[in-house]
Amino acid sequence: MSYRNLKVVVRDGVAVVTIDRPQKLNALNVETLGELDAAATELAADSAVRGVVLTGSGEKAFVAGADIGELGSLTAPLGREFSRRGQRVFDHIEQLGKPVAAAINGFALGGGCELALACHVRVAAETAKLGTPEVKLGILCGYGGTQRLPRLVGRGRALEMLLSGEPIDAQEALRIGLVNRVVSADKVVSEAEALVQKMAANAPIALRLTLEAVSAGLDGPLAQGLEHEATLFGLLCTTEDMVEGTRAFAEKRPARFQGK
């Protein structure tokens, strides 16, 4: 597919998706959200794509937030639908079934921070800033930030960010567990690609079900999560990839997974 606001390049099984609105600091308008949703559908269905990197165009911003120009006229019903639309797109990304990394090359504020939270791992440039400034506009995070941020960094640290609206730098984000790695700005995309490639070298079905197990487990009690984990473990024992993986280990050679 062709997109107006995205660039998609596939290298060595990893799709690099660049949000390309540098004149708007890659802000997420309705059209861009729709394109992200379409791209997620396309990449999930493409067996040649084993993982995804999301980043922003230019050197200033990953995504500077939602497009403020679309917020001013929202009523309560329209505002709820505005929020639900973004939540659905970010859920789609989180549930892609393949590893997704955010390469945070600059400002990740508001909806941009929430987009990074929907990715499975995050690599930040040393110059990156992350924050949830919605309260400064009289609103709150609408694309999942009030739910994903506490799950990732804990209630206290999340509330400090959510209630102050103040951004944090990359090193602080690393310290509290908001990002996985911090690298120089010129290496942020390549580092994210390398991380995804390392993950994508493993069995595709095992990756998908591991993502499912973690996501489902976080939403329920431990006993329920353990039961679900055991069920998925049993399913994986029926796959050709499990036979290949155990055989390759015994034969001291790299496994050749087929996603079967």
What value does the mean pLDDT take over residues 41-52? 95
Range of the domain at 218: 204-250
> Is the same domain home to 215 and 100?
no
Written as one letter, the residue type at 237 is C
Give domain status of residue 43, yes or no.
yes
Cα 149 to chain center, whole Å? 12
User: Phi, psi at residue 146, to the nearest 5°?
Assistant: -70, -15
> Does 1 reside within a domain?
no
Domain shared by 182 and 130, yes or no: yes
Asked if 66 and 115 sit in the same domain, the reply is yes
The three-class DSSP label of residue 161 is helix
The active-site residue out of 94, 114, 191, 193 is 114
Same domain, 16 and 113: yes
Final residue in a domain of this structure, among 200, 217, 232: 200
pLDDT tens profile 129-173 = 999 999 999 999 999 999 999 999 999 999 999 999 999 999 999
* Token pair belonging to 202: 């493993």
Q: Name residue 7's beta-bridge partners.
A: 18
Asked if 122 and 100 sit in the same domain, the reply is yes
What is the count of structural domains for the chain? 2
Q: Let me know if residue 259 belongs to a domain.
A: no
Residue 26 lies in a domain: yes
Q: Tell me, what DSSP letter sits at residue 201?
A: T
pLDDT of residue 99: 97
Measuring CA to CA, which residue among 79, 85, 101, 82 is closest to residue 37?
Answer: 85
Whether residue 161 sits in one domain with residue 224: no
Task: Let me know whether 53 and 24 are in one domain.
Answer: yes
CATH number of domain containing 215: 1.10.12
Residues 43 and 94 in one domain: yes
Q: Beta partners for 182? A: 124
d(CA 172, CA 182): 10
Selected catalytic residue, list 94, 134, 191, 193: 134
Residue 72 predicted with pLDDT over 80: no
> Same domain for 86 and 100?
yes
Residue 55 domain-assigned (yes or no): yes
Q: For 16-36, what is the mean pLDDT?
A: 94
Shared domain check, 227 and 142: no
Give the pLDDT score at 59: 87
CA gap 240, 118 in Å, rounded: 30
Same domain, 153 and 233: no
134 is an active site residue: yes
pLDDT score recorded for residue 70: 77
Q: What counts of helices (H) and strands (E) characterise the chain?
A: 10, 10
Instruction: Compute the mean pLDDT over every residue in the chain, rounded to the nearest whole number.
Output: 94
Predicted model pTM: 0.93
6: nearest Cα among 43, 48, 29, 36: 36
Confidence category of residue 65, pLDDT binned at 50, 70, 90: confident
Find the range with the poorest average confidence among 54-58, 73-77, 120-124.
73-77
260 inside domain: no
Distance CA 61, CA 135 (A): 20
Q: Is 256 contained in some domain? A: no
Rounded Cα distance, 144 and 165, in Å: 16
Question: Rounded to whole angstroms, what are the CA distances from 167 to 86, 125, 138, 178?
Answer: 21, 15, 17, 12
Q: Is the pLDDT of residue 67 over 80?
A: no
Mark whether 229 is an active-site residue.
no
6-33 mean pLDDT? 94
Give me Rg for the CA atoms of the chain: 19
Q: Which position has the token pair 């497009």?
A: 67
Q: What is the pLDDT of residue 171?
A: 97
